[in-house]
Structure 1
Amino acid sequence: MLSSLTMTRTRHTTPRFQLRLVAAKDVVLGPGKADLLEAIEHTGSISSASRELGMSYKKGWQLIDTMNRHLPAPVVETRTGGSERGGAYLTPLGEEVLMRYRALQQRLDPQTCREARELLALLETTPETPS
Structure 2
Amino acid sequence: MSVAPEFKLRMRITQGELIAIGPGKIALLEALDEAGSITAAAKALGMSYRRAWLLIDELNQSLREPAVATAAGGAQGGGSRLTDSGRALVTLYREIEAEAQTHCAGRIGQLMQMLAE
Q: 2:74, 2:100 → 1: CA distance?
A: 40
**Structure 2: tracts of 5 or more residues without a match:** none
> Normalising to structure 2: TM-score of the pair?
0.82
How much has 1:125 moved relative to structure 2?
Answer: 3.0
2:109 is the alignment partner of 1:121: yes
Q: 1:34, 1:83 → 2: CA distance?
A: 30
State the AA in 1 paired with 2:114: T
Specify the alignment match of 1:28 in structure 2.
20
Question: Identical aligned pairs, as a percentage?
Answer: 33
Give the structure with the higher percent helix. Answer: 2
Among residues 14, 31, 41, which one is paired with 1:39 in the alignment? 31
Q: What pairs with 1:1-131 in structure 2 (closer than 5 Å)?
A: 14-82=6-74, 85-109=77-101, 113=102, 115-126=103-114
Q: 2:47, 2:8 → 1: CA distance?
A: 23
Structure with the greater relative contact order (CA < 8 A, sep ≥ 6): 1 or 2? 2
CA contact (8 A) 1:41 1:90 kept: yes
When the two structures are aligned, how many residues end up with a matched partner? 111
Q: 2:52, 2:98 → 1: CA distance?
A: 25
**Structure 1: tracts of 5 or more residues without a match:** 1-12
How much has 1:26 moved relative to structure 2?
Answer: 1.1
